[in-house]
Amino acid sequence: MESHSHNLNETFATHMGERRMERILDFYSRDPETFDTILEDDVKQEAVLDYITDIEIRRDIFLEFQALTRSADPSAALNGIALGIIMVSPIDQLRIRLDEMRTSVSASYGILDTLRGAAAINGIKAFVVKGGRQPSLSSTPKKRDASETLSPSQTPSKKQCSAHTRSRSDSNVPHPSAGASAPNVSLPPMRSPGSVASVLPGTPQEVMGNEGEILATPKTKRKVDAANAAKERDSWKCVLSGMEDPEAAHIFPFSTTEKRKFLDLNRMLRIFWGAEQAQSWAELFESMDVTESARNLICFNHQLHWWLDSAKMALKPLKVIGDGAVLVQFHWLKGNNLKPHVPLEKPYQSLPFTDILAKAGLSDNRAWGSGFAHRRSGIPLRTGQTFVLGARDPERAPNFELLKLSWDLLRVAAISGAALPGSLADEGSNRDDYPGAGCLVWEEDDGWDEYGRRGDEEGEPETTAEDKYPS
């Protein structure tokens, strides 16, 4: 036995070096509990694909879209949002759109306008600018000290408050064991589950406080119920870091469902992801019963929640296991300095595709992004690690299809720069802001269909709703 132990030590020393072996033994002697915690963390991983799959094929598709853009206007160029869509959306759908553009001038105008104009920008905005909030210039929102008091000029408006609380829609809901009171700051009062218990879903009644302020409405009760269901499912812990008292983060922004901002998002998805897939997604994210439920929520600590909303990380759904739990793969996403509406090239300029990738931070296609976060054991969160979501309560596990949508749109946002601070703050709110040089612009009822084709010209049948989104 002693001989075996000696041989084992020699083997470790050979592979790791004597100095490293000495440091490991010293670490174990000083903190065996932490050492054991690290060893007991069963880190599971799956193979990691390239950052952009089939990049050679997508390069050719991008260059053809660019050529068709230039044929409409020699001074025009594709922009960041177009690059993101072409690098992420299904190749078969991109090829279908190119075939249509080769045979129809009007289709070419309409598709290009959607690809680099208001529809794509507003579509990604509906997903990224969750409740009107976009990441600040710092990586984490500033937290006020409990002793601070806001002046009337600093007090957030009702719109600002609702925008901020979308990203932390239920972080104020305490763990059942928590008894701490809310900080004494001049912000809207914290809501607790107990204060809304008497409100029935779908009824107009409100719960009033002692001084007449509204403590809860049916809408806030739905949010509290959904958040509590997600937190109970995830054992009141962040699914990645294991930290307690997490926030319930939306996979798809509930504010978009609530405000019915689907027109441009659906148009972008139907054209570049296909009518069947877009319809499947729309049936989910247009339903408040889905988006304000545990199936649209995942528990993260505050920092990871912020990074998810900022497209600094994403979860790739791999498969549904058991009775409905979902296996996901963690990825750090890359950042860049692109803006979604800004052309990738100057007028009449023609850059090599490698230079365009470099501007987007995509020169090394095998490398993913980086971040600083840890699992509960202290082992760093790294791209490729896998996690099972909803294993304790598969019936309320995160929805696999919504996770697929999130995986694609977060990557589009990261590549296009849509998640950068202020990149979408004032962009795309007006459909006329991004007509695209040389491309037609249409309104929903101006006679043009989704591809820029009219149906009321002489000799042509009127365009019907069924014709708008060909598969």
Report the 3 state secondary structure along 391-444.
CCCHHHCCCHHHHHHHHHHHHHHHHHCCCCCCCCCCCCCCHHHCCCCCCCCCCC
- State whether the Cα torsion 374-379-380-384 is positive or negative: negative
Which pLDDT score is estimated for 160?
Answer: 40
- Taking the complete model, does pTM exceed 0.75, yes or no? no
Question: Is residue 14 in some structural domain?
Answer: yes
Residues in the chain: 471
Q: Which residues pair with 319 in a beta bridge?
A: 327
- Provide the domain count of the chain: 1
Residue 22 lies in domain: 2-30
> Per-residue b/e over 58-78, b at no fewer than 16 CB within 10 Å?
bbebbebbbebbbebeeebbb
Contact 110, 448 (CB under 8 A): yes
DSSP 277-292: HHHHHHHHHT-HHHHT
> Is 7 a domain residue?
yes
Residue 83 lies in a domain: no
Q: Does a structural domain hold residue 26? A: yes
> Residue holding tokens 């870091």?
241
pLDDT of residue 337: 86
The encoded tokens of residue 150 equal 């806001």
Specify the pLDDT at position 162. Answer: 37
Q: What is the pLDDT of residue 448?
A: 33
Please give the Cα distance from 39 to 377 (Å, whole number). 9
Specify the pLDDT at position 423.
66
pLDDT of res. 7: 60
Tell me the average confidence (pLDDT) per consecutive run of 10 residues in the chain, 471 residues long: 57 67 74 73 91 97 94 91 98 97 90 92 84 43 40 40 38 41 35 33 42 52 87 96 94 85 92 97 94 95 94 97 94 93 91 93 94 88 96 93 97 91 52 30 33 38 37 38
| Among the listed residues 48, 47, 31, the one whose alpha carbon sits nearest the alpha carbon of residue 377 | 31
The pLDDT score that the predictor gives to residue 147 is 38
Using a 10 angstrom Cβ sphere, with 0-12 exposed, 13-18 middle and 19 or more buried, the burial of residue 462 is exposed
Q: Does residue 18 belong to any structural domain of this protein?
A: yes
pLDDT confidence of residue 6 = 58
Please tell me the distance from the alpha carbon of residue 368 to that of residue 49, in angstroms, as a whole number.
10
